[in-house]
Structure 1
């Protein structure tokens, strides 16, 4: 992604709320007391990084879900818990290893 791609503009919130209210009219009655925004993390191949660190024993990775973290989170949590507690995982994680970025193509 291009540098500067991720930007949060709090001035857009009223526009976004009006757009949502067209689809869900009851939302127009909601009082917004605070907001939060963040940036999505993306990796080159658009696949998450999961598994053991290639360099640091005892460090495990689970990141780079490219906007799908909420959907994938429960399954990833289950797989990572199994890997961390037993040292193995029934779910194949090899394609998601961190060292895939340093392997020859």
Structure 2
């Protein structure tokens, strides 16, 4: 059993849509305006969401790839398309639904 801790960062109705959701999340998270206006309620500062939408819409190819096969724990690896680098994210399909989620693995405590 996988004992790593993780948190959900985005969800989509299809596995193929997860890269867009992850890119949008990372764009907003790393935007300097977010850093300057860090909020504890999980909302992003005004205007960042529209900028993230424009960035994602401007991509002709996926920025991130989700593996075709899951590992023994049901996680699908997420890699950066340009470099093939493995990211600290994974995709999961919610059992019994068409919903896919992308999770971020958290560093070990201690």
TM-score (norm 2): 0.24
Q: Give the structure with the higher percent helix.
A: 1
Q: Give the structure with the higher percent strand.
A: 2
Higher RCO (Cα < 8 Å, 6 or more apart): 2
